[in-house]
Amino acid sequence: MLKQNLNFKLSQKLSPQQIQLMKLIQLPTQAFEQKLAQEIDENPALEEGKEEKKEDDEFSNQEDEFNDSDNELNIDEYLSDDEIPNYRTQANNYSVDDDEKSIPYAAGLTFHQHLKTQLNTFRLNDKERQIAEFLVGSIDDSGYIRRDVIDIVDDLAFTANVYTDEQEVEKILKKVQKLEPAGVGARDLNECLILQLKQKKEKPSRILAIKILEQAFDQFAKKHYKALLQKFDITEDELKESMLQISKLNPKPGGIFAGNTKIVEQIVPDFSIKIIEDQLELTLNSRNAPELHISSQYSNMLKGYSESKQKSKSQKDAVFFIKQKLDAAKWFIDAIKQRQQTLMFTMSSIMNHQKEYFLSGDERKLKPMILKDIADKINMDVSTVSRVANSKYVDTPYGTKLIKFFFSESMKNDQGDDVSTKEIKKILETIIIEENKKKPLTDEKLSKFLKEKGYPVARRTVAKYREQLNIPVARLRKEM
């Protein structure tokens, strides 16, 4: 049976304008510029650049002159008589000369193009060349082929219509592995290191290094030096020399070439912090503060409509269209202004909270700070602060940093004071750097060291911080 019920409930919903504003706040500088260009392209009522000043008496008495007699459309609000409109978004401390200039990218061969070019040095028939090019295409940016040969055989048949077997692919792979940089085309780290050693001149330490990698890779990876000394019946000096040869190899051979030629995303700081006479000065990137204004052509259209005595239906339809474009343009201009204010309020609060760090550059002076701390200070929602922190960069005297870098949890030291986890990580990193590498400190000993310095940190917490710092366990930090 169908029933009808009437329920009352309170709910909050964001308007389309609020949602759009949140999206604008989240955009980094380059994405914001693209959105700005798209909006200007789609809305002819919106223009960028300085607006020509109007004469003082040009639009005098507009309120009486431009009211629609039909009371269907009031257009006086779209015609400003201000010499400088209140929607002008250019900040006083910016000028066109301050705009960041784009940085050109260096052109060059890609990593895979570089490898394919080298294939011309081999004598290959059409089928072998297809297999070789397919293998090159299977190499990742690090220089590895991380697929089984049998899978490559199947893909050659299905995608390239090349029918072959594992033996032939292995044969062509041996040739691919002779390409530069040395070690490229390997299927794992062990094979990559061996390929590099085999391309060097033979000497006792390198021959021994190859034996170690081929016959005792697990002991080598786990740094079980005593086991290696016994297995190969060698002296400690011989082992040291072989370890030195291996340490000089590149575990990611493709990274050298690919890193120099691939296009990386350019980071454009949204803010800049400078120290002037021991005081911090915060500025917003001028690319985030464009000059926008309403098109004078559209304003003139409305003026012509208001002055005409007879208004046809087509004219009214056109004016309603213009009104929609003007509404969108005025809202977008206002949204840009709100975006600028939100960014400045948020970053200013962060800068003041972390003033000691920005004046010194010492990460140990970073105070505990979470999103709610800043949200409460500027009376905004935590989600708004999160959008700013996760997508914006600030240029500081100590480098360009992502804003969320300045946020960290807190814990109490032995005196009951709140300290930042970043401060503890920095001290932990310093202890590990200064440790005796022949007897590296275990997590338990690191925990004791921190407690002695006034930071009661448990062993598990030390392990977590060490992993976050990408520092291996004590056994893997051991050196001969």
Residues 173, 131: Cα–Cα separation, whole Å: 9
Q: Are 298 and 326 in contact (CB under 8 A)?
A: yes
Peptide bond into 181 cis (omega under 30): yes
Q: What pairs with residue 453 in β-bridges?
A: none
- 185-211 burial string, b = 16+ CB within 10 Å, else e? bbeebebbbbbbbeeeeeeebbebbbe
The upper half-sphere exposure of residue 302, i.e. CA atoms within 13 Å in the direction of its Cβ, equals 27
Crossing angle (nearest 10°) for helices 189-198 and 236-247: 100
The pLDDT of residue 82 is: 42
Q: How many residues does the chain have?
A: 480
Of the candidates 236, 287, 219, which has an alpha carbon nearest to the alpha carbon of residue 31?
A: 287
List the structure tokens of 35. 């959105």
pLDDT tens, the chain, 480 aa long: 566 766 665 555 556 667 777 888 888 888 888 888 888 888 887 777 666 554 444 433 333 333 443 444 555 555 444 433 444 434 444 444 444 444 444 445 688 888 888 988 888 898 999 999 999 999 998 899 998 999 999 999 888 888 999 999 999 999 999 998 899 999 999 999 999 999 888 888 899 999 999 999 998 888 888 898 999 999 988 888 988 888 888 888 887 764 454 444 577 888 999 999 889 999 988 877 777 777 777 666 666 666 665 666 676 777 777 778 878 888 888 888 888 889 999 999 999 999 999 999 888 788 888 888 899 999 988 888 888 888 889 999 998 998 988 888 777 776 766 677 888 888 888 889 888 888 888 989 898 888 888 888 888 888 988 888 888 888 778 776
The separation between CA 381 and the C-alpha centre of its own chain, rounded to angstroms, equals 24
The pLDDT of residue 86 is: 42
- 135-167 burial string, b = 16+ CB within 10 Å, else e? bbebbeebbbbeeebeebbeebeeeeebebeee
The pLDDT of residue 479 is: 77
Residues 318, 131: Cα–Cα separation, whole Å: 63
List the structure tokens of 58. 């040009």
Q: What is the pLDDT of residues 315-329, one digit of tens each?
A: 677 777 777 887 888
Q: What residue segments make up the domains of the chain, in order of their start?
A: 15-51+61-84+268-407, 111-260, 409-480
Q: Would strands 418-420 and 292-294 be described as parallel, antiparallel, or unpaired?
A: unpaired
CATH number of 409-480: 1.10.10.60
Phi-psi region of 277 (alpha: psi -120 to 50; beta: other; left: phi over 0): left
Residue 30: strand, helix, or coil: helix
List the structure tokens of 141. 């940016």
- DSSP string for 113-133: HHHHHHGGGS---HHHHHHHH
Q: For the range 428-434, what are the long-range contacts, defined as Cβ-Cβ under 8 Å and sequence gap of 24 or more?
A: 428/462, 428/465, 428/466, 428/469, 429/469, 429/471, 432/466, 432/471, 432/477
The pLDDT of residue 104 is: 45
Q: Are 142 and 102 in contact (CB under 8 A)?
A: no
Residue 284: strand, helix, or coil: strand
Crossing angle (nearest 10°) for helices 149-159 and 166-176: 100
List the structure tokens of 412. 């109490």
Residue 291: strand, helix, or coil: coil
Dihedrals φ, ψ of 80, to 5°? Answer: -85, 140
The pLDDT of residue 93 is: 43
